[in-house]
């Protein structure tokens, strides 16, 4: 006789049950990402060991090199005293702390108030934890596109990025990359509200959050246009994509909130951009970059050619991501936007590699190539990259110029 029993109804959805399911999924995701986190942490630990050895030989403290230099000092001051500090240079320019976004100093202050850590050490803790969250998100994207091994390789390669030493400093790059990676992953998996919320936090971290906003807006616009052309009515689109549209609305709010805060504080709608201009970080369409390249070519041909080769490599990798490998649109938009924002500013050229570090999808072609390589050769290549990155980081941190 057929089974006439009525199937048991699924447990009703409640906020507590939803939270429990979310924790279970996060735990499962973390277990899957464990090899990637171990590989990433190993690469970064090697970098810290080499830095510690080099710093000891030079009679310097690696701890101070990581949490009390350059931008980290500005963030620590904001966390301790709030906004309002500025330096007037001999040429009359003013460097104001309003150029720095508030999320990192807010976290530094909060952690220092509830733990025995000082503000600078709280900044290190934020950066180190964020670097693991970033590696987790990078793994999740790599695994979604190229399987778990591809995700592990992508996370390890990001840890061996040339300026990866910044990932271990009290800077915003790791915090921003963590938020950006998971925002892009949320778009890839259709979690639009999560994407928008993470974009809000990214917008309170760095001005380059425009890349995260673009990675949400452009795929959303493409989706709406495609369905409209397929015959969907406007009302149907609004009802069917309510969560996507909410994510679109949320995405720029963090960045806008801080820009408006500076505008109100300084009494001008474009005050934030004026502050950035005083720092020499205004948008110039790439003229400063072109001038720097030309200066190197005319003063030191080898250095100029090396610089041109590095830029060519970046554009080649971008072409591989966008054209050859046909990466998903959110990933392509995010990567292209980070590269664009990093290259078209008028600021200090030495910071461009650091500003480009959140563009982790540029490493996807290398990760895919390593997937086709024998395991022992892959380990050797990653080890060489990690050592080279660590050596470069030690040399930079022991030098006088900022990254």
Please give the share of the chain, as a percent, with pLDDT higher than 70: 95
- The pTM of the full predicted model, rounded to 2 decimals, is 0.93
pLDDT 10s digits, 205-254: 999 999 999 999 999 999 999 988 887 777 788 888 899 999 999 999 99
CB atoms within 10 A of CB 86: 13
pLDDT of residue 308: 84
pLDDT 10s digits, 49-80: 999 999 999 999 999 999 888 999 999 999 99
Contact in structure between 109 and 79 (CB atoms under 8 Å): yes
Residues in the chain: 403
Q: Taking the mean position of all CA atoms in its chain, how far away is CA 101?
A: 14
**Which has the higher per-residue pLDDT, 226 or 91?**
226
pLDDT of residue 7: 47
Q: Choose among 383, 340, 339, 334: nearest CA to 357.
A: 339
Cα→Cα distances 262→52, 102, 270, Å: 39, 11, 9
pLDDT of residue 154: 97
Spatial separation of the C-alpha atoms in residues 342 and 134, rounded to whole Å = 19
Token pair recorded at residue 19 = 């939270």
pLDDT 10s digits, 117-169: 999 999 999 999 999 999 999 999 999 999 999 999 999 999 999 999 999 99
Spatial separation of the C-alpha atoms in residues 167 and 161, rounded to whole Å = 10
pLDDT of residue 348: 67
Which helix or strand (DSSP H or E) is residue 354 part of?
Answer: helix 352-356
Which residue in this structure is represented by tokens 């974009």? 199
Domain boundaries along the sequence of the chain: 34-398
Contact in structure between 267 and 258 (CB atoms under 8 Å): no
pLDDT of residue 379: 94
Which helix or strand (DSSP H or E) is residue 20 part of?
Answer: helix 15-58
Cα→Cα distances 363→147, 342, 380, 382, 384, Å: 15, 16, 17, 12, 16
Q: Taking the mean position of all CA atoms in its chain, how far away is CA 397?
A: 21
pLDDT 10s digits, 3-24: 445 444 445 656 666 677 778 8
Spatial separation of the C-alpha atoms in residues 318 and 315, rounded to whole Å = 5
**CB-count burial class (<10 Å; 0-12, 13-18, 19+) for 11:** exposed
Please give the share of the chain, as a percent, with pLDDT higher than 90: 69
Mean pLDDT estimate for the chain: 90
pLDDT of residue 11: 57
């Amino acid at each position: 006789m057929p089974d006439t029993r009525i199937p048991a109804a699924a447990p009703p959805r409640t906020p507590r049950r939803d939270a429990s399911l979310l924790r279970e999924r996060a735990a499962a995701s973390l277990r899957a990402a464990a090899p990637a986190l171990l590989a990433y942490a190993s690469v970064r630990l090697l970098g810290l060991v080499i830095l510690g050895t080099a710093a000891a030989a030079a009679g310097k403290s690696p701890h101070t090199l990581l949490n009390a230099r350059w931008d980290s000092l500005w963030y620590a001051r904001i966390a301790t005293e709030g906004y309002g500090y500025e330096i007037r240079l001999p040429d009359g320019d003013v460097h104001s702390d309003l150029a720095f976004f508030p999320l990192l100093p807010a976290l530094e202050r909060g952690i220092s108030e509830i733990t025995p850590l000082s503000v600078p050490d709280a900044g290190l803790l934020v950066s180190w934890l964020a670097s693991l969250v970033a590696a987790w998100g990078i793994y999740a994207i790599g695994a979604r596109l190229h399987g778990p091994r591809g995700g592990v390789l992508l996370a390890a390669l990001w840890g061996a990025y040339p300026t990866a030493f910044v990932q271990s400093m009290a800077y915003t790059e790791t915090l921003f990359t963590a938020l950006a990676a998971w925002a892009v992953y949320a778009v890839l998996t259709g979690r639009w509200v999560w994407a928008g919320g993470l974009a809000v936090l990214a917008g309170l971290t760095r001005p380059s959050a425009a890349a995260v906003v673009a990675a949400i807006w452009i795929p959303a616009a493409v989706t709406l246009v495609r369905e409209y052309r397929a015959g969907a009515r406007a009302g149907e689109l609004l009802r069917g994509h309510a969560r996507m549209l909410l994510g679109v609305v949320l995405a720029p709010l963090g960045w806008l909130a801080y820009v408006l805060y500076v505008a109100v504080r300084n009494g001008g709608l474009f005050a934030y951009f004026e502050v950035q201009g005083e720092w020499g970080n205004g948008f110039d369409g790439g003229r400063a970059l072109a001038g720097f390249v030309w200066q190197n070519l005319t003063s030191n041909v080898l250095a100029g050619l090396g610089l041109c080769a590095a830029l060519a490599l970046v554009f080649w990798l971008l072409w591989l991501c966008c054209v050859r490998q046909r990466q998903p649109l959110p990933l392509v938009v995010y990567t292209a936007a980070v590269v664009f924002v990093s290259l078209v500013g008028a600021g200090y050229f030495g910071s461009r590699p650091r500003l480009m570090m959140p563009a982790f999808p540029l490493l996807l072609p290398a990760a895919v190539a390593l997937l086709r390589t024998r395991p022992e050769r892959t380990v050797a290549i990653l080890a060489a990259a990690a050592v080279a990155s660590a050596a470069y980081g030690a040399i930079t941190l022991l030098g006088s110029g900022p990254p």
